[in-house]
Amino acid sequence: MNIKKAIIPVAGLGTRFLPLTKAIPKPILPLADRPMIDYIVEEAKKSGIERIVFVLSSEKTNILDYFKKNLRLENILEKRNQKDILKSLKDLDKEIENISFSSVIQQNPKGDGDAILKAQKIIGKDACGVLFGDDVILSKVPVLEKPIVCLKRVPKNMISSYGVVKVDKIANRLYKIKDIIEKPKKQEDIPSDLAIVGRYIITPLVFDYLKKVSPNHKGEIILAEALRNMLKDGKIVYGYEMEGEWLECGNKSNWLKSNLRICLQHPEFGPMLKDYLKKI
């Protein structure tokens, strides 16, 4: 599939990061010297995406401001001859060349499935990527080059925190998904050590199933439930075991670990931080 459009749902409340996220949208939180959302957009571009649809909260639309040119700021930096700082802005402009951005509003946080449905009019009848803002992928092979559900092996003692798949293996890293179990609590309910990562390629059929999903006890429409219903109806859903490193940023502790990981790996700041850590 030639995927050119992607949905990035970032309308969540960010409750696990309160009180910080009262003022700052979670996707703007930094990993080293860049916000999380920047890594996700970069991944989308490397995957061949040309149009990105952000699903935003009406209270935190400033996520888009990060990707907009700020000519007033650039003029000030130019007059001050602050070329290094100006270059960082120019580098961001270059990074997002040939990508168009759109946005839709999710007024109430009714789940990831509801967020995806909000973008349907813009996506139209095309297949598209879905990239969740809690996950940063460090990989030489862009994740969205592979269909349809991104998978990663996790330790079995941690599996109850994830959506997990029951699969038949087709080829190296490629699976036919038979069932999806959301956060299994009992050992006997764990079908594999393959967890779902927040990356998908969806077809228009997925939108049809999302419209039929019953809200859960929280009133949320969940993408995983739509995929389960597709499987029950005999539709084929594939999973691909991703290459590279999965950095989770869904809660404070995981975000701090991911931030530390990227800071220490940073070509400019990494050596200095490693020396500092030795001192303290």
What pLDDT, on the 0 to 100 scale, is given for residue 70?
Answer: 87
Q: What is the pTM of this model?
A: 0.89
What pLDDT, on the 0 to 100 scale, is given for residue 210?
Answer: 94
Topology (CATH level 3) of domain 5-149+198-279: Spore Coat Polysaccharide Biosynthesis Protein SpsA; Chain A (3.90.550)
At which residue do the structure tokens 């859903």 appear?
237
| Short-list 169, 179, 176, 168, CA closest to 224 | 179
Residue 147 has pLDDT above 50, yes or no: no
- Average pLDDT of the segment spanning 102-108: 90
| Short-list 52, 145, 149, 35, CA closest to 92 | 35
Domain limits, the chain: 5-149+198-279
CA dist., res. 114 & res. 55, Å (int): 10
Residue 145 has pLDDT above 70, yes or no: no
CA dist., res. 42 & res. 59, Å (int): 25
CA dist., res. 102 & res. 95, Å (int): 17
pLDDT band with cut points at 50, 70 and 90 for residue 242 = confident
Q: What is the pLDDT of residues 188-236, one digit of tens each?
A: 778 888 999 989 999 999 999 999 999 888 888 999 899 999 999 999 8
- Average pLDDT of the segment spanning 232-252: 90
Residue 237's CB is within 10 A of a number of other CB atoms, namely 22
Q: Name the range with the highest mean pLDDT among 68-77, 185-194, 271-280.
A: 271-280
Q: What is the pLDDT of residues 2-52, one digit of tens each?
A: 789 999 999 888 889 999 888 888 999 999 999 999 999 999 998 889 999
Q: What is the DSSP string of 43-81?
A: HHHHTT--EEEEEE-TT-GGGGGGGS--HHHHHHHHHTT
